Amino acid sequence: MNNMNYKQLSKVDILLYYSNPEVLEQLLAVAEGREVVGAFHDGSYDRRPNILQYQDDIKQMVRKGVVSFHASVERWSSPMSISQDNQDRLRVGWDFVLDIDSKVGIDEARLTAKAICKFLRRYGIKNYGLKFSGRRGFHICVPWEAFPKEINFQRVSKQYPLYPRIIALFIRESIADGLMRELIKSKGAKQLLEVLEEPPVQMSPYYFVEVEKDWGARHLFRMPYSFNDKTWLVSVPLSEGELDQFKPDDATPSAVLKRRKKTFIKPAEENEALDLLTEALDWYASQKKEEKKPEKKQRINWERKVGEKLFPPCIKFILSGLPDGRKRSLFTLISFMRMMNWSWSDIEQRLWEWNKKNNPPLPDNIIIGQLRWNQQQKQRLPANCTNEQFYGFCCNKDDLCKNIKNPVTYPFRKMKKLGIGRKKTTRKKPRKKKDTPPRIGKTIKKGVIKKK
C-alpha cells in the first residue's frame, strides 16, 4: 500500500473529471456553510478563506492548478468573514471527522474502520459517513446534526476543538485492546514489529494505525470525490457493506465515474450522538480526577541558547529528516527550540535546513505559516513523550530518556549530569588572627583583663 503508484493525471484529465456533473454536485453539497481550500500538486494551499458556491468556481480553481479540495470540519455562518478574533461567533457547528491512516496496509486500516463503525453503532449512531482517504486509510464522519446543541448549559458549537478531541480519545481508548488483537491476528506480531525501528515498551495499535485525535482551528478534511494528489486516486464514499471488498483500484477516476454516487455527510436524527458525547465527557472527567497533581518542580533558570548537542534523541531523529509526520513534527520543533531559548531567526534558519532533509520537503508556505502563527502564540511545551502522535520517534537510547515525561527536560538533566552551568564555589580560607595584645577592659574568653 505504501508503494502505491498510479499514473499522474494531466491537467486536461483533471479538468474532465471535475467537470462531471455528478462530481460537481457532490462537491457543492459538502461545501455549503464551510470554508473550502484548494491544494496544488506540490502540496501548497490556495488562498484562505475561500468558498464554493457555483460549479464554475470549481472549474476555475482547477484551471488555476488546483488538484484537490479540502473543507473545514467547522460549519460557519459566514465563511468568507473568518478571522482569528471572530471564530467562536461565526461557528455554528462542527462535524466529527476521524482520519484513519495505516502504516502497515489497507487491510489494517479497514479493520480499524470496522471497529470504529461497530463502536458508533453501540451508541445508537446509524447515520455516519465512510469514505476512502485516497491513499492509506479511511475517513469516518458523524455529522453536526447528530449532536445536541446544548449540554451542561453550554452551547456545543462553542466547545470546539475540545469536544471532538475528547470523543476521539474516548473511541481510541475503548477500541484499543480489541483492535490490537485484530492487528496481530491479521499481520502477526513479528511482521508488525518490523515496521518499527525498535520494539516499544508497551504494544499499542496506534504505533501501526493512526486514528486522528487532535483538531485545531479551521481544521480541514479532504472532500469526498476529490483527488489525493499523492496517488491520483479519488476519496470516494463507501457503504459499510462495501468496505470488506474495497480495493484501491476501485478509486481510480474511471472506476469512480461508473459507480453510483454516495454521500459522506449524511442527514442524521436529532440527538443521535447524545449518548456518545455524554459518556465521552463522563469518561474524560473521570480520567482528569485520576491524574495526580503535578509535583512542584524547581524552575529552570537558563538564559542562554541550548545547543543541539544537548538535544534528546527523538528531536535529533526528527532533525535528520522524515518521510512521514513532517507537519506534526514542525510544531514539535518550533515549540522545543523556543523552550531552548533559540531566537526566531535561528529557529527559521534551522527549519529550512531541516526541510531540505525531508523526503519529500514540506511546501514553503506551510513552514512560513507555522512560524507566523507560533510567533503570535504564548510559549508552550511540545507534547509529552507518551503522545504517539508526535513521538513515534521515541527510542529510549540512553538512561536519561527513561525518567522524563517531556523532551524539554532532557537537555537540563544532561547539563546537570555533565556539570554544565554550575557555578564554581571556592571555600574562603580562614583569616589568620594576628597576635595582638588584648585591649584593656575587654573580655577575653571568660575572663577580664583588669587595669594594673
Q: What is the pLDDT of residues 370-406, one digit of tens each?
A: 888 888 777 778 878 776 555 556 665 677 777 788 8
- Are 311 and 220 within one domain? no
Q: Label residue 199 by pLDDT band (50, 70, 90).
A: low
**Is residue 296 over pLDDT 80?**
no
Query: CB within 8 A of 422, min separation 6: which ones?
Result: none
Domain CATH number, residue 35 = 3.90.920.10
At 429 the pLDDT is 53
- DSSP string computed for 172-206: HHHHHHHHHHHHHHHH-HHHHHTTSSS--SS--GG
**Is residue 452 over pLDDT 70?**
no
**Number of structural domains the chain divides into:** 2
Global pTM reads 0.65
Task: Find how far residue 95's CA is from the centre of its chain.
Answer: 17
- Are 264 and 153 within one domain? yes
At 170 the pLDDT is 96
- Are 311 and 388 within one domain? yes
* Angle, vertex CA 327, rays to CA 324 and CA 332, nearest 5: 105
Q: Label residue 317 by pLDDT band (50, 70, 90).
A: confident
- Are 226 and 331 within one domain? no
Q: Label residue 441 by pLDDT band (50, 70, 90).
A: very low
- Are 278 and 319 within one domain? no
What count of residues does the chain have? 452
At 167 the pLDDT is 97
**Is residue 442 over pLDDT 50?**
no
- Are 71 and 184 within one domain? yes
- Are 326 and 359 within one domain? yes
Are 271 and 257 spatial neighbours (Cβ–Cβ below 8 Å)? no
Q: Label residue 36 by pLDDT band (50, 70, 90).
A: very high
At 451 the pLDDT is 43
- Are 222 and 90 within one domain? yes
- Give me the sign of the Cα torsion angle 277, 280, 282, 284: negative
* Lowest-confidence pick of 205-214, 332-341, 385-394: 385-394
Burial class (CB in 10 A: 0-12, 13-18, 19+), 117: middle
**Residue 72: beta bridge partners?**
220
**Mean per-residue pLDDT, 230-258:** 95
- Are 277 and 325 within one domain? no
**E strands, 14-162, in order:** 36-40, 66-72, 74-76, 91-94, 96-102, 129-132, 137-142, 150-151, 154-155
At 418 the pLDDT is 82
Range of the domain at 367: 303-418
Answer with the residue of higher pLDDT: 37 or 8.
37
Locate 53 and state its grid cell: 458556491
- Are 235 and 341 within one domain? no
**Mean per-residue pLDDT, 142-163:** 93
Are 380 and 337 spatial neighbours (Cβ–Cβ below 8 Å)? no
State whether residue 276 is helix, strand or coil.
Answer: helix
Peptide bond into 312 cis (omega under 30): no
**Mean per-residue pLDDT, 107-133:** 97
Pairing of strands 96-102, 137-142: antiparallel
Closest CA to 376 of 240, 217, 253, 244: 217
* Lowest-confidence pick of 14-23, 90-99, 150-159: 150-159
Are 272 and 125 spatial neighbours (Cβ–Cβ below 8 Å)? yes
